[in-house]
Chain A
Amino acid sequence: SQTIHQWPATLVQPVGSPLSLECTVEGTSNPNLYWYRQAAGRGLQLLFYSVGIGQISSEVPQNLSASRPQDRQFILSSKKLLLSDSGFYLCAWSVGRQETQYFGPGTRLLVL
């Protein structure tokens, strides 16, 4: 069966520090991968999606970047965090873009 992992679960970082959040998927090949951000009590905002290694599409221009160095690995990064980067970051995978998305447990990021 397929599983999706995210780490860390929580992270407190100072403004201006770098960020690296990792997401890995097991049990499937060539998944579509997604990074979302969710503000407290709000819906999900799609940040990036990837249909293959090295292929990244950005939905919202911002302080973040994403990379997919391996088929089942998706990394969300920032060189310098802003206060507004605080939120709940969710990684998800799907077989195709119009199919069910399966979510990881999320990373709660607090930028102080």
Chain B
Amino acid sequence: SQQGEEDPQALSIQEGENATMNCSYKTSINNLQWYRQNSGRGLVHLILIRSNEREKHSGRLRVTLDTSKKSSSLLITASRAADTASYFCATDAIEPSGTYKYIFGTGTRLKVLA
């Protein structure tokens, strides 16, 4: 699997339900970010969580980070039809040379049914 791989690839839920998406990565990181992309649009930054943080909230979003398992989850509570979009995680992978490389996952396509 590649760095920053989201799971599931696609998710369909009813309005009002919670949506949980997961991201796994391979190398050590300094931070992990979640982005959202509406169809045919650019990405919008949602939340950044640093490697020394375990949980972060922003409105209806809750992000967790488990560096021991190299994984993160994004929870959207009380979902709305407007939350329908693709969600990507991005990690700043530390390369053997010591430089940082930002890598985006393949995304989770969320569909919220009204």
Contact = CB atoms under 8 A, between A and B. Distances in A.
Given A98-B100, A100-B33, A100-B48, A42 B106 contact: yes
Interface residues of B, number: 24
B96 interface: no
B44 A97 contact: no
Nearest to A104: B42
A108 B35 CA distance: 20
Interface string B87-114: 0101010000000111111110100000
Contacts of A97: 92, 100, 102
Interface in B13-61: 30-31, 33, 35, 40-45, 48
Given A97-B100, A98-B100, A43 B45 contact: no
B30 A103 contact: no
A41 B86 CA distance: 9
B31 A101 contact: no
Interface string A3-39: 0000000000000000000000000000000101000
